[in-house]
Structure 1
Amino acid sequence: MATVRFSGVTKTYGTLPVVTDLDLELPDGSFTVLVGPSGCGKSTTLRMLAGLESVSSGTIDIGGRDVTALQPRDRDIAMVFQNYALYPHLSVAENIAFPLRATRTPRREALARAAEIGESLGLSALLGRKPKDLSGGQQQRVAIGRAIIREPSVFLFDEPLSNLDAKLRVETRTELLQIQRRLGITSVYVTHDQEEAMTLSDRMVVMRDGRIAQLGTPQEVYARPADTFVATFVGSPKMNLLEGTLSGGVFTTGAGVALATDCAANHSSVTLGVRPDDLLLTPRASGGAARVVLIEHLGPRAIVTLEARGTALTSVVETARLAGISEGAGVDLTVRAGGTHLFDTHNGRRLVGTDNG
C-alpha cells in the first residue's frame, strides 16, 4: 500500500496541453475515481501514473519514491484495462498466475496462489477454462485476479467495466469495491460515468480541460458543486440552471419565472441551480407557473419534463405523488428547503457567503 502524489505534473503533445500543473495526493488505501468528459485528461493522468505516458514536467511519487522516470515494471503497480487483455491460450488459473511465472516463481507455487485468489473471486469452478468460455464479468474478475496476485502498492483501473452490459456492470462494480475494501490497496479508477464514480469512490476527482474542477467525497461534490460544470456533470438528471435576479428570497428569470428560495442574499445577476429532486411540483386546476411536457415513469419515481415560459426544467417526482400531474397539465413550482445553489453568472463559480454556501 502507498500514498500517491502528483506535484505540478503537466503533459503536452507538442504545443497542446492535455494535463496542466496537476497537484493531487491520493491517501494510502483510498479508492479515488478520476471522472470527466472525453478529453478532460483523466486517462492521460492514469497512464502517466502507470508509466505508459511520459511526464512533460513535474513529479509523480508512489510510497515516498519518485517514480517519474521509472519504467512501468519498476513502479510496483498493477493495471486492469478496459479490454481485459487475457491470454486466450492460457486457462483462468494460468492467466491469474502469469505475473508470478514472469518472475520465475515455480509453476506449482504460482498456480496454488492463483487458486487461492480464484476462490476469493468466485472463480474456483472456472480455473481450467479458457477466456473464450467465460462471460464478460468472469473475464473481468480474471483480469482483477491477475492484478491482485502481484500484491502491488497501487491498483490502476482504466474504465474496466465499460464493455459490460448494465446489469453485469452493477454486479461487477459491487464485487470490485468489496475486493478493494478487503485488500486495502490504494486504487485509482478512471471513468466517464459519473454514477460509477459516485458509487465506487472514497474521493472523487472531477476533471475538465486537463485540470481539477473539484476534489472531494462523492457526497461533498454532489451537495456543494464548485461550479456550474460540476453541477451539471455530477447528478442524473442534471441540475436545472436558471439565470436571473434574487431579491428578498425570490429568484426571478428574465422571462418572469419566479421561485421562492431559502437564500436571503440579493443579486442583480445570478445563476440559480436546483437539482430535479429538489424541484417540487403542485398541481393546478388551471394556469400554473409551468406546463408538464413529458412524464417518464421509472418504477418508484418519474422524471417530469416541464416548460416554464420558454425555459425547460426537469423534476423527479415519487410515483405516489403524481396524482393530478399529467402531460399538458399546469403546475406550480417550489424549491425544497436547502435545495438552492447559487453561482456567478459570469464565471460559473459557486457563490460563497450566502445561505446556500
Structure 2
Amino acid sequence: MATVRFAHVTKSYGATSVVSDLDLELPDGSFTVLVGPSGCGKSTSLRMLAGLESVTSGTITIGDRDVTALQPRDRDVAMVFQNYALYPHLTVRENIAFPLRAAKVPRHEALSRADAIADSLGLSTLVARKPKDLSGGQQQRVAIGRAIIREPSVFLFDEPLSNLDAKLRVETRTELLQIQRRLGITCLYVTHDQEEAMTLSDRMVVMRDGRPAQVGTPVEVYDAPVDTFVASFVGSPKMNLLDAEVQGGTCTLPNGFAIDVGPVAARGSVTLGVRPDDLVPTPADDARATVTLVELLGPRAIVTVDAGGTEVTSVVEASRMSGIAEGARVALSARPGAAHLFDARTGLRLDGPQQSIDVQNGVQA
C-alpha cells in the first residue's frame, strides 16, 4: 500500500495539452475515481501513473519513490483494462498465476496462490476453463484476480465494467469494492459513468479539460457542486439549471415565473440549480406548467414539464403519480434546501444550498 502523488503533472501532444498542471494526492488505501466526459484527461492521467504514457512535466510518486521515469514493470502497480486482456490459450488458473510465473515463482506455488485468489472471487469451479467459456463478468473477475495476485502497491482500473450488461455491472462493482476494502490497496479508477463513480469512490475527482474541476467525497460533490459543469455532470437526471434574476430572496425566470429562494446575499443575474429529485409537480387546473413527457421506471418516473417555455425535469415516486400524466397542468415546488445559486457569467457557485425554494404557479413577477 502507498500514497500516490501527482505533482503539477502535464501531458501534451505537440501544441495540444491533454492534462494541465494536475496536482492530486491519492491517500494510502483510498479508492479514488476519476470521472468526466470523453477527452477530459482521465485515462491519460491513469496511463501516466501506470507508465504507459510519458509525463511532459511534473512528477509522480508512489510512496516515497519518484516513478516518473520508471518503466511500468518497475512501478509496483497492477492494471485492469476495459477489454480484460486475458490469454485465450490459458485456463483461469493459469491466467491468474501468469504474473507470478513471469516473475519466476515456482509453478506449484504460483498455481496454489492462483487457486486461493480464484476461490475468493467465486471462481473456484471455473479454474480449468478458458476465457472463451466464461461470461463477461467471470472474465472480468479473472482479470481482477490476475491483478490481485501480484499484491501491488496500487490498483489501476481503466473503465473495467464498460463491456458488461447493467446487471453484471452492479454485481461486479460490488465485488470490486468488497475486494478493495478487504485488501486495503490504494486504487485509482477511471470511468465516464458518474453513478459508478459515486457508488465506488471514497474520493471523486471530476475532470474537465485536463484538470480537476472538483475533488471531494461523493456526498460533497453531489450536495455542493463548485460550478455548473459539475452540477450538470454529477446526478442523473442532471440538475435543472435556469437563468434567473435574484433580488430580495426571489428569483425571476425570463418567462415570468417567480421563485422564492429565501434570504440570500446574491443579487442580479444568476443561474439557479434545482435537482430533479427536489422538484415536485402537483396537479392544479389553474397552473401554467404542463407535463410534456412521463417516463416510467418502476418505483419512480421521470417527468418533463414545460414551465412557460422553460423545460424542467422532475423525478416522482410512483406512489405520488396520481393526476400526473402527459398534458396535465401542474404546480411546481421544491424541497427545502434545494436551491443552488451560480454566477451567471462564470458558472461558479455563489453560496451553499438555500433554506427554501418555491416555484409559484405561474405568478407574473
- 2:162 is matched with 162
- 1:26 is matched with 26
Matched, 1:57 2:62: no
Offset at 1:315? 0.4
The aligned amino acid for 2:154 is V
CA distance in 1, matches of 2:280, 2:262: 14
The aligned amino acid for 1:30 is S
CA distance in 2, matches of 1:215, 1:107: 44
Instruction: Answer with 133-142 or 241-250: which moved more.
Output: 241-250
Task: Give the paired residue count.
Answer: 355
Identify if the C-alpha distance between structure 1 residues 262 and 278 changes in structure 2 by more than 3 Å, giving closer, same or farther.
farther
Offset at 1:332? 1.1
Identify if the C-alpha distance between structure 1 residues 79 and 229 changes in structure 2 by more than 3 Å, giving closer, same or farther.
same
CA distance in 1, matches of 2:232, 2:352: 22
- 2:5 is matched with 5
1:162-311 alignment, distance < 5 Å: 162-284=162-284, 286-311=285-310
- 1:123 is matched with 123
Residues 266 and 350 in structure 2, CA contact (< 8 A), matched pair in contact too: no
CA distance in 1, matches of 2:96, 2:161: 19
CA distance in 2, matches of 1:57, 1:264: 43
Matched, 1:41 2:77: no
Residues 82 and 163 in structure 1, CA contact (< 8 A), matched pair in contact too: yes
Identify if the C-alpha distance between structure 1 residues 263 and 167 changes in structure 2 by more than 3 Å, giving closer, same or farther.
farther
CA distance in 2, matches of 1:183, 1:218: 22
Offset at 1:301? 1.0
1:141-160 alignment, distance < 5 Å: 141-160=141-160
Residues 50 and 72 in structure 1, CA contact (< 8 A), matched pair in contact too: yes
Identify if the C-alpha distance between structure 1 residues 143 and 354 changes in structure 2 by more than 3 Å, giving closer, same or farther.
closer
Q: Please report the TM-score for the alignment, with normalisation by the length of structure 2.
A: 0.95
- 1:324 is matched with 323
Offset at 1:352? 2.8
Identify if the C-alpha distance between structure 1 residues 201 and 354 changes in structure 2 by more than 3 Å, giving closer, same or farther.
closer
Identify if the C-alpha distance between structure 1 residues 266 and 205 changes in structure 2 by more than 3 Å, giving closer, same or farther.
closer
Identify if the C-alpha distance between structure 1 residues 263 and 300 changes in structure 2 by more than 3 Å, giving closer, same or farther.
farther
CA distance in 2, matches of 1:266, 1:220: 22
- 1:112 is matched with 112
Q: Please report the TM-score for the alignment, with normalisation by the length of structure 1.
A: 0.98
CA distance in 2, matches of 1:60, 1:83: 26
- In structure 2, the gaps of 5 or more residues are 356-365
Residue by residue over 1:165-213, the C-alpha shift from the partner in whole angstroms, topping out at 9 and shown as x without a partner, is 1111111011001000000000000000000001000000000000100
Offset at 1:64? 1.2
Residues 337 and 353 in structure 2, CA contact (< 8 A), matched pair in contact too: no
The aligned amino acid for 1:207 is M
SS in structure 2 at match of 1:270? strand
Identify if the C-alpha distance between structure 1 residues 354 and 341 changes in structure 2 by more than 3 Å, giving closer, same or farther.
closer
CA distance in 2, matches of 1:128, 1:258: 67
Offset at 1:281? 1.5
CA distance in 1, matches of 2:111, 2:250: 68
CA distance in 2, matches of 1:303, 1:212: 30
Residues 289 and 333 in structure 1, CA contact (< 8 A), matched pair in contact too: no
Offset at 1:354? 7.7
CA distance in 2, matches of 1:283, 1:62: 58
Cα RMSD of the aligned pairs, angstroms, is: 1.1
SS in structure 2 at match of 1:182? helix
Offset at 1:287? 2.9
